[in-house]
C-alpha cells in the first residue's frame, strides 16, 4: 500500500503511482533470504508488541531503499538529453525530473506479521492499537507513530543536511533550500550538479542555476524504514502532510477508534455481503478532543502538544463528527472543519492557487488488520 504526494506538477507522483510498488515488489521477490527473519523473531518473542526486537537494517529494508533510489536515479538521469540536440526531447524526457513527489509505502509480511513503513518526504504513517480492559472490552487506543516527517522541523534531518553541506545555509526559516521537505523523488534541480544544470540552462530550456546552489545533491529519495509487529485489531493510517497540518497523530487514531465504534461490522466480518449492507447507526453528537477513545485522553483546548497550524488559521476550535461510512472520508472531513460544515464546504470550494493559502490537499489511506 502506498501514498504519493506530488508537487511542482503531477508527473512524478503519477509515475510512482503506476510503477514504484511493482518495482519494489519485484526487487523483494528476488531475495532468497526474505523469510529468514522468521527464525530470528522466534528467538525474540517474549514481547509480541516489542518492535525493537526487529533489526533496523536487514536485507529486505536495504532492498527497499535501493529500489527507491534506483527509480529516482533513472528518472533524473540526463544521459539521453545531453546526447541529443533536441530541446523537445529534453522537455519530454525531463518532465518527471522537474516534478517532485513524496512517497510513503507500507509492506506487510503475513508470515512474520511484520509491517515495514518506508518514507521519503513529509507524509506520515501512524498505527492505532486497541487497549483491552480485564473483561475484554476496548478501553481506548494506543498511538504508535511509525515515521518521522522529513522536513526542516526534524532535528535528525537538519543534522544530516548540515553534515553533508558544511558551511552552507541549507535549512532556513523552516525550509530546506526553500522546500518544505528534506527528501523527495524528482526535484532534480536540487540533485543535479551545477555543471549539468548550466548545460541544461544553456542548451535545453533548463532553469537558471539558483544562487544558493553550491554542493548538490541537497535532496534524496532514500527512504527511512521502520518496522513493527502487527497485532489483531491494529489499524494503519497513512496520510499526506495536508492531513497532519490539521490533525495530530493522536487525534487521527482517536477518530478512527471513534469511527470503529459504529462501523467495526464493516471491517471485521465473516459475512461481507450481509454485514457491509447493515444500516449504519446515526450519530448526531459533536465530539471534543478529550472525548476521543484514546488510552490517555487529550486536553480540551489550548493543548501545547497540538502544533497543527490550520485550525488556528481558520479561527475555529476543533469539533469532530462521526458521519461517514469510510474511515478515510471520516478523517478527511474532520481534518477540514469537522462539525463546522460551512467551513468544510468553503475549504473544498476554494480553487488553486488561492486554496493553498487555506488548506493543502489531503490524501489518506486506512488499513485494518
- For residues 241-254, average pLDDT: 97
pLDDT band per the 50, 70, 90 thresholds, residue 96: very high
Confidence (pLDDT) at 46: 45
Confidence (pLDDT) at 307: 86
304-333 pLDDT tens trace: 678 899 999 999 999 999 999 899 999 999
- For residues 226-232, average pLDDT: 96
Q: What ranges do the domains of the chain cover? A: 240-369
- For residues 291-316, average pLDDT: 84
Outline where 240-340 has alpha helix (H).
241-244, 249-263, 272-276, 310-314, 327-335
Nearest to 25 by CA among 79, 78, 68: 68
The burial class, CB within 10 Å (0-12 / 13-18 / 19+), for 146 is buried
CB atoms within 10 A of CB 91: 14
Percent above pLDDT 90 for the chain:
79
- For residues 224-244, average pLDDT: 97
Identify the bridge partners of residue 143 per DSSP, sorted by sequence position.
128
Confidence (pLDDT) at 295: 87
3-state SS of 137-178 is CEEEEEEEECCCCCECCCHHHHHHHHHHCCCCCCEECCEECC
Here the cell at position 289 is 478532543
R_g of the chain computed on alpha carbons = 22
Confidence (pLDDT) at 296: 78
Here the cell at position 26 is 519485484
Confidence (pLDDT) at 297: 74
Predicted structure pTM score: 0.91
Amino acid at each position: 500500500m502506498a501514498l504519493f504526494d506530488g508537487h511542482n506538477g503531477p508527473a512524478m507522483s503519477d509515475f510512482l503511482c503506476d510503477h514504484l510498488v511493482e518495482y519494489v515488489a519485484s526487487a523483494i521477490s528476488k531475495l532468497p533470504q526474505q523469510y529468514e527473519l522468521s527464525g530470528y523473531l522466534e528467538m525474540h518473542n517474549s514481547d509480541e508488541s516489542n518492535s525493537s526486537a526487529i533489526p533496523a537494517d536487514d536485507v529486505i529494508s536495504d532492498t527497499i531503499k535501493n529500489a527507491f533510489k534506483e527509480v529516482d536515479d533513472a528518472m533524473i538521469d540526463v544521459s539521453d538529453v545531453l546526447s541529443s540536440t533536441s530541446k523537445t526531447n529534453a522537455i519530454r524526457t525531463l518532465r518527471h525530473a522537474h516534478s517532485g513527489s513524496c512517497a510513503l509505502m507500507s509492506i506487510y509480511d503475513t508470515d512474520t506479521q511484520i509491517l515495514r513503513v518506508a518514507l521519503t518526504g513529509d507524509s506520515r504513517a501512524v498505527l492505532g492499537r486497541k487497549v483491552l480492559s480485564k473483561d475484554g472490552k476496548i478501553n481506548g487506543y494506543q498511538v504508535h507513530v511509525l515515521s518521522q516527517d522529513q522536513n526542516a522541523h526534524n532535528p535528525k534531518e537538519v543534522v544530516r543536511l548540515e553534515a553533508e553541506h558544511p558551511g552552507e545555509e541549507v535549512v532556513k526559516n523552516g525550509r530546506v533550500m526553500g522546500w518544505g521537505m528534506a527528501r523527495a523523488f524528482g526535484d532534480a534541480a536540487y540533485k543535479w550538479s551545477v555543471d549539468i544544470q548550466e548545460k541544461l540552462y544553456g542548451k535545453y530550456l533548463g532553469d537558471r542555476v539558483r544562487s544558493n546552489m553550491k554542493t548538490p545533491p541537497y535532496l534524496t529519495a532514500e527512504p527511512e524504514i521502520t518496522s513493527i509487529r502487527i497485532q489483531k485489531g491494529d489499524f494503519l493510517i497513512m496520510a499526506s502532510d495536508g492531513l497532519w497540518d490539521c490533525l495530530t497523530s493522536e487525534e487521527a487514531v482517536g477518530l478512527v477508534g471513534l469511527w470503529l465504534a459504529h462501523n467495526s461490522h464493516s471491517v471485521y466480518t465473516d459475512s461481507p455481503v450481509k454485514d457491509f449492507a447493515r444500516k449504519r447507526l446515526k450519530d448526531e453528537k459533536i465530539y471534543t478532543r478529550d472525548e476521543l477513545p484514546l488510552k490517555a485522553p487529550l486536553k480540551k483546548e489550548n493543548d501545547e502538544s497540538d502544533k497543527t497550524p490550520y485550525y488556528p488559521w481558520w479561527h475555529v476550535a476543533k469539533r469532530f463528527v462521526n458521519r461517514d461510512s469510510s474511515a478515510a472520508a471520516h478523517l478527511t472531513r474532520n481534518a477540514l472543519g469537522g462539525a463546522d460544515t460551512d467551513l468544510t464546504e468553503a475549504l473544498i470550494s476554494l480553487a488553486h492557487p488561492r486554496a493553498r493559502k487555506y488548506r493543502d490537499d489531503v490524501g489518506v489511506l486506512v488499513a485494518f488488520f
